[in-house]
Structure 1
């Protein structure tokens, strides 16, 4: 594999994609003393990179579009980065190291990063091609959903994970006379992050706000009206839900087609090594479009670690490269805080600790094995979540302070201090008068 230990006079780095991962990489590169000589970013959207995590408050009307922008166009110019917006890369010629955009522009690269992100995973059901079916991935989607909210009627969100719930709650808050339903295939919301109790608390909260939550809902087909617009969803059990719009938020599909057409090795996504290098030594992949070992990505924390590894590789720094690591999920859905890591289901060998304050709506559950934390779910009050995660990563044996664990670091530290203080083993004495 060719080595690029320091940038050469003809070192032109091109990055395809202008999402959060791409922007994070550019910010890391421009401040490095051995940055690539020339950097070009090609983005399909017509606006500079923005924080897509904030699409939900934007949809809900709690934030203005300009608040999502990470850097304006002047920032790129000030840092000697060429930004090409509103252009889609159609082909990559690996032999000549040239890419061609839909505007007919050919761009030569010395090194290339694919950061093309992902698309909504569409269910394979009849009617999925009807009008009125949307995703919730970018500003254009947010605009479309805002229009749906203004029109009223019925909206149906398919997917009870984080993205689906955020879309549903945003529609509910923005809509006037809009009835919003959420279809979740499993028996509970956010089944990958939450246990049954926390998921039940979340469902009760959202239902009290007016969302219609339908679990164990397997979509069979979508029906259209005579104009070709979606008008109903039919479930496997025969239930028919009338709707004017459908929002798909049931997982993602890596945008790997461009790399695949270029002849790069792909599986579920574009395969990379620890330096995020693809099967072509001049091409790298980053974020949701890449696959490391068997892993693909949808959360930002591992992608930020990928950025660190890739920026080191591109600038010639000594680095062990990207490694998979346990991650915690810190989420905030419509004012409800959640924090979770590790398994959600207790195994027979787990020691399970639970705390539930019904009045305050706080819930905590810890799963321990041999005194060591393996998993946690926190709902409501999540302030102790990072400390639990630190203890889990360190593998600390907390058996001696088990009774204080549910109340966080302060109580555990106080108990440990009390246990460590010397005990007075001699009987008290009195001085002679």
Structure 2
């Protein structure tokens, strides 16, 4: 039997999701053709702002590569578009002359960015922000020009503006209304958002009506209704979208604001269906991804003959993808005669909450600053729970322990949604894990789509995986190693209570099963003692890993790497000469620039270590230690035309102040002179980015096998404030961190808001800095700590086979 011909016009997220859903249900039912206007395969459009914000690349947002279409037997046209749709002939004509017949046609033409119909809108440098091509144009302009204006203070406009700041531009957001994101936030939350974005370097011109774009060939600025002007080399328009309905109108389909469809996504022609942003359903057009995916499931059911109740509209909710601005908005957020509200503002913590109530049910909410209760409110809204028994305080704040339980996805009912973008429930994920033996978040995403859009739910997916695979957090305490059942907190508490001052005392008094300890607990106990009694406890070098004892990193062939310290990546001819002579003298096989802007000598023999350090006469760079390791810097404003601050000078100050201080795990810093972040500040434990009004501070970024972007802490005006906050951060990490725990999981464990509150409290910061002063620094270069040959040889023979 010959297959029906199904043609999809539009290669975007909603249309291709429909095809995926059809293929899952009946992979052999249709002969499928997809027509795409862009040159790219299907990609995740909502991640475009992450490209601008340097969080991802174009390749990483491709959802279905070209190979997928071939594997699925789909005929694909790209960089082409449908120009005519003839329902009578059931034929589609393409821009390049092809004519394609169909039995069923799906219109997924999406929407177009609205461009203000004003003078100058066609100048070079005036762009929309809608496609990969738009994003590439913006990034190209950012590499050449400095001043940008973003017209539109909505969700997409703010994400674009933050991306331009991250690209190193001076950005002003021009908004017609008096507060930001006015369709998702009320005035109070909108103004709080503006304050936080200003701290991140954005500027705003509110209540401004743009009348003209200035320039002859390329844009030079904007002119406003009040007579004022703004200089700009780049103008990004982000003032809304308009459903793309031209094909539908030509085909004489029913069209309102969008292509009109019924509950089964059928148009006024029985052979033509429509889905996505181009659609108008019950008078509503949707521009968020979650409703479009709900439509896709209904349409796939309908086109494969499955029973369906149809599509009945969607409850929308929004979160902004800008670091340091936590907001959540859901449901109806407009008060009226029959909709009452309760609100609370915590000025101290910069948090705001407003709840909208109708007929004893929560119908909407706005959360700003603290969004930990978003799941609780989403449940109240979607399940239409009766709140008549709750007083205002109980409604605004969960009972003690209740919020934690609600946020624990393992406690959710199977019907509750984990991935809002893709409409994937807990039950669906758990079933897929069990049926398909899934063992990673990537596997879950591949089979269920959960986590495949904005990615916000990936932590919850990981929790469900751990729970399903039997690796949930134990209900009883687990010791730090096999020598004890005591946890880190229990050990540290007993060290203070009993006044224990040595590793051997800890083992004896706390009844460790192995009285000598092991290679896992010895360095941990030594570190906890150093922090607890920095002046009384004598650092026990025998308890440190071999790399730390030898001031060198053991390599896979048994030789060592020697890395002298170069503060902030800065060196001089004399230092380079010493390194060159040492490399020649000891026949070093590899001399390499390291990732931390230093020069490493690789392949040094163990017996040569004391001599090479003596010849170098330089401090060790701690490239092997659980300590403050390095500060990576760019050249800064003294040399770079984009630099706003002296990043190299500040980086050297930080390194000189905090080098050789022990931490639970390696601790790296980055100082960039501008938001281009050439020092990769946003994947460092402590990152600094220079902006025109001071320094943005980011914390908890980690590279490695699990990459964690750092989180925005605050903006300060002076270098002294940066140095003090860094010191307080270091000491709090030292006092509360588990040995071998990086700063990212440490912050997750303690809670970012808690760490932020501690660090930004002046009294707490002063207390932490005082404690850090007591800690002092460990001894520095190798050749100063080893004085006689006999001791050297003794140390060389100890622990050569220990874990690094």
CA distance in 2, matches of 1:367, 1:85: 46
User: Residue in 2 aligned with 1:134?
Assistant: 127
Cα contact 1:352–1:367 (8 A) shared by 2: yes
Cα gap change, 1:60 to 1:395, in 2 (>3 Å): closer
Q: CA deviation at 1:346?
A: 3.7
User: Residue in 2 aligned with 1:316?
Assistant: 305
CA distance in 1, matches of 2:244, 2:114: 11
User: Residue in 2 aligned with 1:230?
Assistant: 219
Matched, 1:192 2:180: no
User: Residue in 2 aligned with 1:105?
Assistant: 98
Matched, 1:62 2:55: yes
Cα contact 1:113–1:286 (8 A) shared by 2: yes
Q: CA deviation at 1:355?
A: 3.3
Cα gap change, 1:371 to 1:277, in 2 (>3 Å): closer
Please, which runs of 5 or more residues in structure 2 have no aligned partner?
405-804
Q: CA deviation at 1:410?
A: 5.6
Cα gap change, 1:410 to 1:276, in 2 (>3 Å): farther
Q: CA deviation at 1:412?
A: 6.2
Cα contact 1:21–1:115 (8 A) shared by 2: yes
User: Residue in 1 aligned with 2:68?
Assistant: 75
User: Residue in 1 aligned with 2:362?
Assistant: 373
Matches within 5 A, 1:13-412: 13-33=6-26, 36-175=29-168, 178-225=169-216, 228-347=217-336, 351-369=340-358, 371-402=360-391, 403-408=393-398
Q: Secondary structure at the match of 2:192?
A: helix
Q: CA deviation at 1:323?
A: 0.9
CA distance in 1, matches of 2:222, 2:300: 46
Cα gap change, 1:65 to 1:115, in 2 (>3 Å): same
CA distance in 2, matches of 1:413, 1:53: 29
Cα contact 1:401–1:412 (8 A) shared by 2: no
User: Residue in 2 aligned with 1:417?
Assistant: none
Q: CA deviation at 1:40?
A: 1.0
Q: Secondary structure at the match of 1:378?
A: strand
Cα contact 2:329–2:366 (8 A) shared by 1: yes
CA distance in 2, matches of 1:76, 1:408: 48
Cα gap change, 1:409 to 1:112, in 2 (>3 Å): farther
1:239-285 Cα distance to aligned partner (Å, 9 max, x none): 11121121110000111112212222212221111111112111111
Higher RCO, 1 vs 2 (CA within 8 Å, ≥6 residues apart) = 1
Cα gap change, 1:384 to 1:96, in 2 (>3 Å): same
Please tell me the root mean square deviation across aligned C-alpha atoms, in Å: 2.0
CA distance in 2, matches of 1:392, 1:137: 31
1:70-93 Cα distance to aligned partner (Å, 9 max, x none): 021112222222222221111112
Q: CA deviation at 1:413?
A: 8.6
Q: How many residues end up aligned between the 2 structures? A: 403
Q: CA deviation at 1:96?
A: 1.6
Cα contact 1:404–1:411 (8 A) shared by 2: no
Cα contact 1:332–1:338 (8 A) shared by 2: no
Cα contact 1:159–1:250 (8 A) shared by 2: yes
CA distance in 2, matches of 1:152, 1:236: 26
TM-score when normalising by structure 1:
0.88
CA distance in 1, matches of 2:225, 2:368: 32
Cα contact 2:196–2:324 (8 A) shared by 1: no
Between 107-116 and 149-158, report the one with greater CA deviation: 149-158
TM-score when normalising by structure 2:
0.48
